[in-house]
Structure 1
Amino acid sequence: MLFLTTATALRATPFLLLALPSASALASENATVASKYKAPNESTPPIVARQWAQDDKDLWSYVEEKVPAVLDHTGSSSFDEHLRGVQAVLRGWGSPNYLTKAGLFHSIYGTEGFQGFSLPLSEREAVQDLIGEKAERLCWIFCMVDRTTVDESALRWTPGSCDSNCRFTFLSRPELGRFEIVVDKEEWLDFLELTLADWLEQVEGAASKPSSLFLWDEGEAYAYRRKAYRAMSRVLAHERMGRLGGIVQQMHGEVYETESEVTKILVQPRTPPMSEAAARALDALRSAGEDIPTNLRPRPEEKMAFETERS
């Protein structure tokens, strides 16, 4: 649930919400497996941790000055902790600064799976000034994209199948018109890294409760885009072997080891519609002949494959 905090209260404590958490706070945060992959941690040099704290303080001071609507809507501890958590995972992976900034703002315009808050797209220039054009574009893609088109790119990948000149074409969410989003190989890898960090940071908590929006019963969050996230970990471990070769697959494996045996047979490849506009867009695509199931709940993989063959 997203709780709103008034701008007045935020001005009184401008850096409280997104002050950089300490290593001990991150380590104890909900006692999740993901928390041990976050930085700063005990091995982070103090000078680096201090610089991160200063960078984040300056970042959110700028947000308060330039884009006050963001602060008006990020008072929820759960949402706020997730944003900081994604940034902390990316820092733990040694991601470049622009990517950690994208982690902190990845859902700023509202996404396929989160529409509880969205900054107007008219604020893109202000966000670019805040975190840089490269980071903001990753956030924009994260918010615009139809996730199935991202997943298809990861699932199709094989070692050696893509050289440095590769281009990938995602599509925007159906309700946004399905316009093309073209990325080069490095931006594709950046986007997969952001996407995987976002999910691994939250799935343990998401699975601890049911979700009427995602159509999950308790424990079923692990089914969401299961094969795609596994594929992303393989892509990143191979394509960014020097930095991510060991850590991403290890983290993915350890996080998914927390899943109950009962739900490991379930898959949920597509995000259920989060709005009436999204639901209508999916209906339109079905009417045009696209193979989009009407039942988007997590299902046993064998049953889903059988029903697809019958249709």
Structure 2
Amino acid sequence: MESARISARTSEAARRLLREQGADTLAHPGGTLLSHLDRVARQLSLWGARPALQLAGLCHAFYGTDGFAPALLPWDQRGRLRSAIGAEAETVVYFYASCDRRATYPVLTAPDMRLRDRFTGRSHTPTLQEKRDFAELTAANELDIARIDDDFRERCGAGLLTLFTRIRPLLTPGAWQDCTAVLGP
């Protein structure tokens, strides 16, 4: 079931900022970073994500990530992105970008897990909603790359399926179904 759509005004503001920061010219598997971001947002919509999570999917690489170093904006300029997409979506983007994946992936489903912010070094206990958003965005992001890059899927597919199996309680049924369809045997 497809969820509510991002407003045209907010979507255009996000895309304008993405283009201003060069996302439409930055190489990424499957074309440009902007094309990848569009696919991730579309996938989240197909899984029924609320508009704020779809916007986070569209903008998830703004501050770089633990797996994709180029940043479109430094994280200390969060206000620029927040003005374009709203506070809720920007908070998801920041959470996603600031996550130390090696430390987070193994404990994401633990009720008392601590997230270490790789930008500031501070830690906090994320809410269940923050963990669900992170898991869903991670699945949409990694599955997009796995769908278009055979080498990536061959190299990382088994590990990703193990990760998604472990965090399955945080994923929507649609996300889990796609995880097994794309990464399964």
Distance of 2:82 and 2:12 partners within structure 1: 17
Structure 1 pair 73/256, CA: closer, same or farther in 2 (3 Å)?
closer
What whole-Å deviation, never above 9, does each CA across 1:115-134 have from its counterpart, x for those lacking one? 13341123201111111112
1:110 and 1:117 in contact (8 A); partners too? yes
Say which SS state the counterpart of residue 152 (structure 1) adopts. helix
2:61 and 2:68 in contact (8 A); partners too? yes
1:141 and 1:181 in contact (8 A); partners too? no
Distance of 2:156 and 2:148 partners within structure 1: 9
What's the counterpart of residue 105 of structure 2? 151
Say which SS state the counterpart of residue 114 (structure 2) adopts. strand
2:13 and 2:85 in contact (8 A); partners too? no
What's the counterpart of residue 141 of structure 1? 95
What's the counterpart of residue 151 of structure 2? 209
| Structure 1 residues 131-280: aligned runs within 5 Å | 131-154=85-108, 157=110, 168-173=113-118, 176=119, 178-206=121-149, 208-209=150-151, 219-232=154-167, 234-237=168-171, 244=172, 246-257=173-184
Distance of 1:44 and 1:107 partners within structure 2: 23
What whole-Å deviation, never above 9, does each CA across 1:182-223 have from its counterpart, x for those lacking one? 3111222112111121111211323x236xxxxxxx821314
What's the counterpart of residue 123 of structure 1? 77
Distance of 2:136 and 2:163 partners within structure 1: 12
Distance of 1:180 and 1:44 partners within structure 2: 34
**Total equivalences in the alignment:** 181
The answer to which structure, 1 or 2, has the higher relative contact order (CA under 8 A, 6+ apart) is 2
Match of 2:132, as an amino acid?
Answer: L
2:114 and 2:125 in contact (8 A); partners too? yes
What displacement does 1:106 show? Answer: 0.6
1:90 and 1:103 in contact (8 A); partners too? yes
What whole-Å deviation, never above 9, does each CA across 1:59-81 have from its counterpart, x for those lacking one? 334x27xx93x2x3432433221
Structure 1 pair 181/74, CA: closer, same or farther in 2 (3 Å)?
farther
TM-score (norm 2): 0.81
Q: Aligned residues: percent identity?
A: 22
What displacement does 1:249 show? Answer: 2.1
Distance of 1:223 and 1:209 partners within structure 2: 12
Higher helix share: 2
Distance of 2:123 and 2:8 partners within structure 1: 37
2:14 and 2:84 in contact (8 A); partners too? yes
